[in-house]
Amino acid sequence: MATRSDVADGEWERPTAFYNRTTKYLVYTAVVAFVLYSLWSIGIPIDRFRRGIGAGIDLVSNMLPPALTPVQFELMVQGIVESILMSIVATTLGIIVSAPVAFMAANNLAPRPVYFVGRGIIAVSRSFHELIVAIVMVKAVGFGPLAGVLALGFKTVGFFAKLLSEEIEDIDTGQMQAIEAVGGSRMQVYLYSVLPQIVPRIIGLSIYRLDINLRHSTVVGIVGAGGIGITLLNSFQKYDFQYSSMIILVIVGIVMIGEAASAYARRRVQ
């Protein structure tokens, strides 16, 4: 590296990721200013904040201990079961649909226009929060678990097709040519050369996604897409906070069990 000889011997400035110190401080100032502006624009009302602390203590004391009536217990179990079922069906559905999308979005297999459609589907699916997809699905197909399955399925497509397409792009093209050379049709090529290479990873990822979908299935009900979420929302609207805390505890429990089971299963598969 050429040293700048015009720099005085007793001067040194730390090189920055920015162009120079001034820019650096400008950027820092801008960031701080923006955060302060955010704070100001949201206009956090001090008195409400103070009252909120009291309300928070009230809420927590209203939540404890978690409790429910037998009828509520039945509702809760129904909701939980529905959530679990939704996550299983949505994961399967999503994986099936994601296979063609993945091939569409693999740049070594798909022709350009198809490739962009595939990438587009993936980008849209990944960009929207599951609850946004869910709220739209509820309007499209009505309240209930079907909307939830479609929403979670759609999110699964984005997740899966992306990983899968990257996997496909990594595939050894030599092997594919070898099979094509012996006269296999394109479909046979996919079946015999592509699939065996990616199956173990697919299984691992499916289990992982099932875990994610289980988490999400517990909340999509808040916008009407089935599962325990709607029960939770109702309990809040009826100020039945002991029931709310019960449901939240059960959700946390289910999520933790799901996480542990998924981690265990993935270790076993690999």
Structure tokens at 58: 């009230």
DSSP state of 190: I
Residues 244-263 within binding reach of other proteins (CB under 8 A): 244, 248, 251-252, 255-256
- CB closer to other proteins, 82 vs 176: 82
Tokens representing residue 23 in the block: 């820019």
Pick from 14, 65, 182, 187: which binds other proteins (CB under 8 A)? Answer: 14
CA distance 18 to 30: 14
C-alpha–C-alpha distance, residues 166 and 186, integer Å: 20
Kindly tell me which residue out of 6, 10, 112, 174 binds other proteins, with binding defined by CB under 8 A: 10
Q: Are 144 and 227 in contact (CB under 8 A)?
A: no
Is the CB of 67 or the CB of 253 nearer to other proteins?
253
Chain residues 192-231 in contact with other proteins, contact rule CB under 8 A: 215-216, 218-219, 222-223, 226
**Residues in region 55-94 near other proteins by CB under 8 A:** 55-56, 59, 81-82, 84-86, 88-89, 92
CA distance 141 to 147: 6
86 or 109: CB nearest other proteins: 86
Q: Report if residue 131 touches other proteins, rule: CB under 8 A.
A: yes
Smallest CA-to-CA distance from 153 within 93, 84, 88, 221 is with 93
Tell me if 141 contacts other proteins by CB under 8 A: yes
Shortest reach from residue 210's CB to other proteins, in Å: 10
Fill in the amino acid letter for 146.
L
In whole angstroms, what is the distance from residue 198 CA to residue 170 CA?
10
* List 26, 28, 45, 264, residue binding other proteins (CB under 8 A): 45
Min dist. Cβ of residue 180 to other proteins (A):
19
- Residue 96 found at the interface with other proteins (CB under 8 A): no
Closer to other proteins at the Cβ: 19 or 49?
A: 49
Angle of the 145-169 helix axis to the 195-217 helix axis, nearest 10: 150
What are the φ and ψ backbone dihedral angles of 200, each rounded to 5 degrees? -60, -40
Q: At what angle do helices 241-269 and 229-237 cross, to 10 degrees?
A: 160
Q: Which of 6, 9, 70, 71 binds other proteins (CB under 8 A)?
A: 9
Q: Is the dihedral of CA 254, 255, 258, 259 positive or negative?
A: negative
The residue among 8 and 187 lying less far from other proteins, judged by its C-beta, is 8
Q: Which is nearer to other proteins, 87 or 109 (CB)?
A: 87
